[in-house]
Chain A
Amino acid sequence: MAKREIPEINAGSMADIAFLLLIFFLVTTTMDKDQAYIRSIPKRVEVTTPPVDVEQRDILAIRANSKNELMVRKELMSNADDISERVVEFYTFNELKNDVTSNFPLYSRISLVEIEGRIEAALADAEAVEATPGASQDIIDFKYTILKEWENKKRALQLYGKSELPEISSQAHVRIEVQKGTEYGLFSKIQSELEEAIFILRDKAAKDVFKESYSTIKSRYAVDKKKDAKMDKEKLDLLKILYPDKFIEVTPKK
């Protein structure tokens, strides 16, 4: 039998095929990343209860009008870059010692024993509501959320390693009040400054308590969910309790 030689396949056009694919991917994809600020919209409620009175000291109002002029706490501001400093001041003014005469939110300090007391009370309360015939599921869920919050605080304080957990007044918040004509550029600048301020605060706390930067913890948590994830989550939770990001965006009327 004659040995037949198998002819070699001509691979000369392989490069053309690869180029074709390459160009296809160059055209249909984009290099630039999408970066954004994620915010949650409050749920729509049908029942209109009169709004709770909030003390002036607990509000940091950032206003911008349709001429793109900026006002922070009744003070005109020409440079938008200064907003973050004011936000940091708002959070830290009373952090170490409450000054009742100041116009900044007050801090409460709570010890581990007190938190444990609250947990027991919340648990008893939740069980009592559950045992009540005809109690609606919403209320039961609500009671258990409170219990869970206290348990989170207990874990946070244990991680914090100090005798007391400082907590900013629960009503303290930042309000963004813009008008319809305000440019999106300024609106997003305010968002950027808020994010920057929260970053500064949490980063400092992270370096003090955990000896590593906030962005390190955050990116490690985002990348590797398995390794050390629980620990990182608790760290992030603690930072969130210390400096909560409560931003309210007020729907413009004019």
Chain B
Amino acid sequence: MSKFKKDDKKGAPGVNTSSLPDIVFMLLFFFMVATTSKESDPTVKVIQPEGLRTTDMTPYKQRSEIDFLYLGKPLNPARAAKYEARGMEFLLFMDNVAQSNPDDLYNVNAIRRWKLDKFESKPARMSEPIESVITCVKADKGAPSGMIFDIRKELQDIDALTIAYAVRDNGNI
């Protein structure tokens, strides 16, 4: 004889999901603002060394005044073994172009061609002189400095006179 009748037939009411899109859009906008687009996925593995008091490259990226070069061991183990047999432990990966054979860096002036191609394909309104278009070298911490200086030499030859040495900054900012 209870006053409160149990209504067994009625199940739990469905959760109102009409604001779900709003929540997801909010997340979406957060990620759009807080992240920057990847320039490319390098085929070499780069573990960056750490450093302090670095300069943030994001403003340069937004103005596309920067080109990235990667220097590391190949991700693909078969490829790594193949190059190691020829005495090449570290390989170069330029934005969108993998180094096709080990001699490229030294013989065909691949960097020179790549940098000039990139420079010429930029729209006219981004006409920064080539001297101030940054080339950012992201090298593995075990990479030999000799290769860095080889890259530097190539850049000097085409008057691309700004280089950036990438590191990981765990400190401020």
Contacts and interface: CB of A to CB of B under 8 A. Distances in A.
A39 interface: yes
Given A30-B38, A37-B55, A222-B59, A43 B159 contact: yes
Contact of B52 (A33, A185, A195): A195
B53 A192 contact: yes
A180 interface: yes
Contact of A251 (B17, B153, B160): B153
Contacts of A43: 156, 159, 161
Given A35-B167, A39-B163, A196-B52, A180 B35 contact: no
Interface string B25-41: 10110011011111000
A36 interface: yes
Interface in A185-210: 185-189, 191-192, 195-196, 199
A253 to B, nearest CB: 10
A74 interface: no
Contacts of B45: none
Nearest to B25: A18
B31 A22 contact: yes
Nearest to A27: B38
A131 interface: no
A142 interface: no
A100 interface: no
A184 B149 contact: no
Main secondary structure of the interface of B (DSSP, over half): mixed
Contacts of B99: none
Contact of A33 (B17, B58, B134, B148): B58
A52 B32 CA distance: 54
A36 B51 CA distance: 9
Interface string B118-151: 0000000000000000101011111111101100
A251 B165 contact: no
B11 interface: no
A141 to B, nearest CB: 16
What are the 3 A-B residue pairs with the smallest beta carbon separation, nearest first?
A180-B146, A185-B141, A192-B51
Interface of A: 11-12, 14-15, 17-19, 21-22, 25-26, 28-31, 33-44, 178-189, 191-192, 195-196, 199, 215, 222, 249, 251-252
